[in-house]
């Protein structure tokens, strides 16, 4: 009998929530099979089994949260022989335990009544009995909409059904192989009946694990890292003109780098020249990193997720653009993995697409700094004593004063501005 424990799926994960069991009790499990979907502090992902056999018992039900290392299920031999001794012991009448008797198995939760059998919803299968290939997010949406996955055509790799396939499908009556209608979620528990106040009726909403983690990390950042801010205005006129030419010359379907991709590249090159900006203050000393990995903040549903562009200083603009788009799509599809959310040494947060002129961001700990990017706007400027126009973009650099001081931070930001104002240098 092998225990399946709550795995550590991210470097900062302390506990996980079981969202959905993808196998039922009695199902055969092979190494590499998707066994359970788990919500971590960074993403929801399907955990692949590292043991083979028969799923004999589910110890943690859907919706329950346990710490890493706690058993969540048990997998036995395919012939069930691994459970024979346990069954025999369970059939013996209760009585005092002698010195030579084996200890009774620990009971996780006391119950005054009969314990119902533990089982998970059966995953949909096709006519040949094979489990339908679908992402965990697609399964959850299909369950909510009462869609039969066996009737959908997958557009993902290997015919895998993804979120887009489910959203395009129309709701159909659920057949024998479809999901049962999803239970209506119970409202958040309150201390008593809703009370009409000057603010109206008060309702409560529990944050997701990701939202709770963001709240905790941002509070820790502001409480422990002495922030200071530097602001600069970048003339993006050459970048605007250069990007327009790239769009004209680009073939159909090719990726044209965005202005944010240019910012990521400029930051990466500047970070290589300013090691303190590419470091962290931890345990009373400076950590300096040999790799330049830039995190790009992406707005997910009700949360902010920061996937990483690794070795951004060594990659061309087009490669950065391609990777950034793929990572953003994974975030929005709920398919981003913990490794893609780890390892960033610096972060870029851009709200320019929302028409924001500028803002001050909170450092993503334990990084030394974060760059907040505003919108590009055509504004009047004075050049050679005459009024002209230029495409200006405001950038704000938030710094941890424990490692990045005023003058070095100003030099770093000045270098980022110089690179953006001469965009040809980004291709070198």
Residue 375 has pLDDT above 60, yes or no: yes
Lay out the sheet containing 44-48: strands in order across.
44-48, 34-39, 15-21, 65-67
- Is the pLDDT reported for residue 122 higher than 70? no
Q: How many residues does the chain have?
A: 428
Do 47 and 38 form a contact (C-beta atoms < 8 A)? yes
Summarize the confidence of residues 60-81 as an average pLDDT: 81
What digits encode the pLDDT tens for the residues 349-368? 999 999 999 999 999 999 99
Measured N-to-C along each axis, helices 317-333 and 259-273 cross at an angle, to the nearest 10 degrees, of 110
Strand 346-350 to 369-383 pairing: parallel
Who has greater pLDDT, 35 or 394?
Answer: 394
Tokens in use for 8?
Answer: 């550590």
Buried b (16+ CB within 10 A) or exposed e, 195-223: eeeeeeeeeeeeebbbeebbeebbeebee
Whether 401 is a known active-site residue: answer: yes
Instruction: Please tell me which residue in 130, 227, 274, 401 is annotated as part of the active site.
Output: 401
User: Domains along the chain?
Assistant: 2-82+118-168 (2.40.50.100), 210-427 (3.30.559.10)
User: Is the pLDDT assigned to residue 182 strictly greater than 90?
Assistant: no
Separation between Cα atoms, residue 183 and residue 63, nearest integer Å: 13
State residue 224 phi and psi, 5-degree precision: -110, -30
β-pair type (34-39, 53-58) = unpaired
**Mean per-residue pLDDT, 180-193:** 46
Q: What is the pLDDT of residues 85-97, one digit of tens each?
A: 444 444 444 444 3
Question: In the predicted model, what is the mean pLDDT of residues 202-219?
Answer: 84
Q: Is the pLDDT of residue 129 over 60?
A: no
What average pLDDT does the structure give for the chain? 81
For residues 343 and 308, the answer to whether their CB atoms sit within 8 Å is: yes
Model confidence at 180: pLDDT above 50: no
- Tell me the torsion sign for CA atoms 255, 259, 262, 267: negative
Please give the pLDDT value at position 156. Answer: 64
Higher pLDDT among residues 112 and 289, named by residue: 289
Cα four-point dihedral sign 119, 124, 126, 132:
negative
Non-local (6+) Cβ contacts of 395 within 8 A are: 231, 232, 233, 234, 263, 358, 371, 372, 373, 374, 413, 416, 417
Model pLDDT for residues 213-243, shown as the tens digit of each residue: 888 889 989 999 999 999 999 999 999 999 9
Q: Report which of residues 138 and 411 the model is more confident about.
A: 411
Alpha helices (H) along 208-347: 209-224, 237-249, 259-273, 317-333
Helix, strand, coil: what percent of the chain each, to 5? 30, 25, 45
């Amino acid at each position: 009998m092998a225990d399946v424990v709550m795995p550590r799926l991210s470097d900062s994960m302390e506990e996980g929530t079981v969202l959905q069991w993808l196998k039922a009790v009695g199902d055969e499990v092979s190494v590499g099979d998707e066994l359970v979907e788990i919500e971590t502090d960074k993403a929801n992902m399907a955990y692949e089994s590292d043991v083979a056999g028969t799923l004999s018992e589910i110890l943690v039900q859907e919706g329950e949260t346990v710490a890493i290392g706690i058993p969540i299920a048990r997998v036995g031999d395919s012939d069930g022989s691994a459970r024979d001794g346990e069954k025999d012991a369970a059939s013996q009448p209760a009585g005092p335990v002698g010195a030579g008797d084996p200890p009774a198995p620990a009971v996780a939760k006391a119950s005054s009544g009969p314990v119902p059998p533990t089982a998970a919803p059966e995953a949909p299968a096709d006519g040949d009995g094979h489990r339908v290939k679908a992402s965990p997010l697609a399964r959850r949406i299909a369950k909510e909409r009462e869609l039969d996955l066996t009737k959908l055509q997958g557009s993902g790799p290997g015919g895998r059904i993804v979120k887009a396939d489910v959203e395009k499908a129309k709701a159909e009556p659920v057949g024998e192989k479809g999901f049962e209608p999803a239970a209506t979620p119970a409202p958040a528990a309150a201390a008593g009946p809703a009370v009409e106040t000057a603010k109206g009726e008060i309702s409560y909403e529990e944050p997701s694990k990701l939202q709770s983690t963001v709240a905790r990390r941002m509070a820790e950042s502001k409480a422990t890292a002495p922030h200071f801010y530097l602001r600069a205005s970048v003339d993006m006129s050459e970048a605007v003109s250069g990007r327009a030419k790239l769009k004209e010359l680009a073939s159909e379907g090719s990726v044209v780098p965005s202005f944010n991709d240019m910012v990521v590249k400029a930051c990466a090159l500047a970070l290589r020249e300013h090691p303190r900006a590419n470091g962290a203050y931890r345990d009373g000393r400076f950590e300096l990193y040999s790799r330049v990995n830039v995190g790009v903040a992406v707005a997910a549903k009700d949360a902010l997720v920061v996937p990483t562009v690794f070795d951004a200083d060594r990659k061309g603009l087009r490669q950065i653009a391609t990777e950034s788009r793929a990572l953003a799509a994974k975030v929005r599809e709920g398919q981003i993995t913990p490794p893609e959310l780890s390892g960033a040494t610096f972060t870029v947060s851009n709200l320019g697409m929302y028409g924001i002129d500028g803002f001050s961001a909170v450092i993503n700990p334990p990084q030394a700094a974060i760059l907040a990017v505003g919108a590009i706007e055509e504004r009047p400027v004075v050049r050679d004593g005459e009024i002209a126009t230029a495409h200006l973009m405001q950038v704000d650099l938030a710094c941890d004063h424990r490692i990045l001081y005023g003058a070095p931070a100003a030099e770093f930001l000045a270098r980022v501005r110089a690179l953006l104002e001469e965009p040809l240098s980004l291709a070198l």
